Amino acid sequence: MTRTRTLAALAPVLLLLACEPEPEDSMETATPAPAAEVDPVDNPLLGEWETPFGAPPFHLIENGHFIPAFEAAMEAHNAEIEAIASNPEAPTFQNTMVAMELAGSELQRVSLVFSNLTSSVADDEIRAIQREMSPRLAAHSAAIALNPELFARVDALYREHEELGLSSQEARLLEVTHENFVRAGAQLEGPDRDRFAEIRTHLAGLYTQFTQNDVGDSEIWMMHLAQEDLDELPRSLVSSARRAAEDRGEDGHIIVLSRSLVEPFLQRSPNRAQREEVWRAFYERGNNDNEFDNKDLIREILELRLEMANLLGFETFAHYRTAGTMAGTPEAALELMEEVWWPARARAMEEQGDIQARIEAAGLDHEVAGWDWRFFTEQVREERFDLDDAEVSAYLELDRLIEAQFYVAERLFGVRFEERDDIPVYHPDVRVWEMTDADGNHMGLFYGDYFARSGKRAGAWMSSFRPQNGLTGATPLILNNCNYNKPADGEPALISFTDATTLFHEFGHALHGLLSDTEFPSLAGTSVDRDFVEFPAQIYEHWLAQPQILEQFAIHHETGEPMPTELLERVLAARTFNQGFSTVEFLNSGFVDMAFHLETEPTSLDVEAFEAQVLASRESPDAIPMRHRSTHFLHSFAGEGYAAGYYSYLWAGVLDNDGFAAFTEAGDIFDPELARSLRENVLAAGNTIPAMDAFVAFRGREPSVEPLLRSRGFGDLIP
């Protein structure tokens, strides 16, 4: 998921820069449309949008509109900022803080539309525009953050805040804005100030290049499947491989480097040589010493981040990043990972023993390798729980699970969702629902973009076209993106239980945006600490796994019968299966991410050797690599949202398991009082209160790590 906590005046710009951009096959050929081609007066991105609920007019927007719109919006934003900074009147909350909150609204609209298109429907022209605009927007952002007159007004209010009679939200906005100005270099002077701005601009271009390299390297690889290969694969995987070939303009069936194709293939293909080929291609993205290689970029990014952190007085970039989170320090984040690591590793070694026994029972004489784990794990799982992925997926139809995510929100929060066909969309696959309260009052729009396609980045994420704004009364426009395999025409979209969990996860993020109820947009929705932002998403996952939800919505796509009780019981019993592998795989990336950003001499760093050293120091099993190899680790190197912060998913895991335990302890997963507290203290509150205060207000106490360990099946391994 992509989000960032921003200072008010920079929100429109940083929302764009935080997005993980898309690459292209040939990065030298495409050029952006000249700005002169479009008259700003006729630009549909500018001015009021005459659409239902002010939704983006995608039916009118063309690529050539973006650069002129950006330029006009930046010019208007600069004028607004200059008017605030040069105001001859003494600074007040109204003429400074509120004025900053209202500034840049047009730039925010353009940025949010464009950033979402770069992730969802990128083509060569969009990618070229992105490469041009990223450094220009970074320079625009830095100029505002480093505006001494503007910061002087904020600083004067901050120093006098106790005498200003501010409301709690006003005080919080002032506190957060001042902190973000300082972290953006506002207190730097002279050459240090200039150098900081240079670094920010340079990094913006490097982040774009890193992501474009990742997808570029992915898009030049494919593996064709022969008929004998197809005969040994599930029908759903064969259908997805056929669709992938159609998307690439190829005949037959292919595997491409999308996780939604790679993982099922590694699970189901009995051809070990092909599994190894796919695994290595997926694992080595960005590390092939070609035009898309990312190793030099990693070194340069780390050097610049370290320099930036040092300019601000931090020992390392990891110290800089964690200073603005619930963890507070790299040491605290590492302590949490360490607490989970050893139980997870112990369980993973047990799982590896089971797999090795299965390999030997099959009369094979090789040691388990990375490309073996998923295949033989599926055999162990089928044997232990009598589960077949295809059997389970037959009951997990995407449309019904979308209904299920809405049903849970309706039961918990009293909201309703109705699909609309009159809202413009950027691709035919996109669907839109209106969210209303129990009385039918409009509250926002939810966009769902669920299928993988060329031009769409991998993974799943939540973003927005417009955040909730209490000052203007603007309702939120929230988007979920997933990358499920699109079925052939006439076939149902069947997904795995893991995919269904992802669906609920991203909708938890969406609700964080949709249910936001703050006065100031800079404090709205997901604008919270990075290691708290995953809490609403991860706690929402728990409702999917409740029997009363699966009994109602896990319906066989052909027979219409609900999932049998005994199958449901086996599905739920298997939830902790292979959790050692999953947790070790995640923590490997977390430890490497943190180690990179604690490094004080990155200039000559050997990326592969560094990875190996970190994993060896943890005694990590050779057969379990990092979930995200450094050279395609978008969380860490395509932006700063999760840099030195990948651990935050685990931190949120502590919160979500302890938080959902409140519902189970109450004996009602829809307990009205707990649902009200979750909505008011977390989802609606945004960043109006510190993250730990929000959790305690909901839970009644600080969280414990034990529910996390028990939920993953590590309870017997707790020291």
Q: Which of 20, 351, 397, 506 is catalytic?
A: 506
CB contact set of 686 (below 8 Å; sequence gap of 6+): 516, 518, 523, 524, 525, 526, 527, 528
DSSP β-bridge partners for residue 418: 434
Q: Tell me how far apart the alpha carbons of residues 458 and 217 are, in angstroms, rounded to a whole number.
A: 13
Looking at this protein, which amino acid is placed at residue 132? E
Q: Cα–chain-centroid distance for residue 302?
A: 21
Segment (H or E) for 416:
strand 416-420
Residue 206 near residue 297 (C-beta atoms within 8 A): yes
Q: In sequence order, what are the beta bridge partners of 362?
A: none
Query: Alpha-carbon torsion 115, 418, 548, 411, what sign?
Result: positive
Name 448's bridge partners: 431, 480
506 assigned to active site: yes
Could you give the C-alpha distances from 508 to 299, 554, 594, 649, in angstroms and in order?
A: 35, 20, 27, 14
Judged by DSSP in three states, 477 sits in strand
Is residue 494 within 8 Å of 398, Cβ to Cβ? yes
Q: Which of 709, 678, 400 is nearest to 583 (CA)?
A: 709
Q: What residue type is assigned to position 406 of the chain?
A: F
Structure tokens, 360: 């030997």
Encode 116-144: b = buried (16+ Cβ within 10 Å), e = exposed: bbbbbbbebbbbbbbbbbbbbbbbbbbbb
Across the strands, what pairs with 461?
A: 481
Candidates 138, 151, 219; CA nearest to 185 is 151
- Helix 259-268 vs helix 272-283: crossing angle, to nearest 10: 150
Q: Which helix (H) or strand (E) is 661 found in, with range?
A: helix 648-666
| DSSP letter assigned to residue 244 | H
> Between 124-145 and 66-85, two packed helices, what is the crossing angle to 10 degrees?
10
Cross-strand partners of 120: none
Note whether 570 and 385 are within 8 A (CB): yes
Kindly give the pairing relationship between strand 253-255 and strand 431-436: unpaired
The label of the residue with tokens 């070609």 reads 290
Task: Single out the residue of 222, 257, 224, 253 nearest to residue 240, CA to CA.
Answer: 253
Distance of CA 557 to the CA centre of its chain: 30
Which residue in the block uniquely carries the two structure tokens 């490497």? 592
Give the C-alpha separation, 396 to 387, whole Å: 14
**What is the bridge-based pairing of β-strands 416-420 and 253-255?**
unpaired
CA-CA-CA-CA torsion sign (18, 23, 27, 32): negative
Looking at the annotation, which residues are catalytic? 506
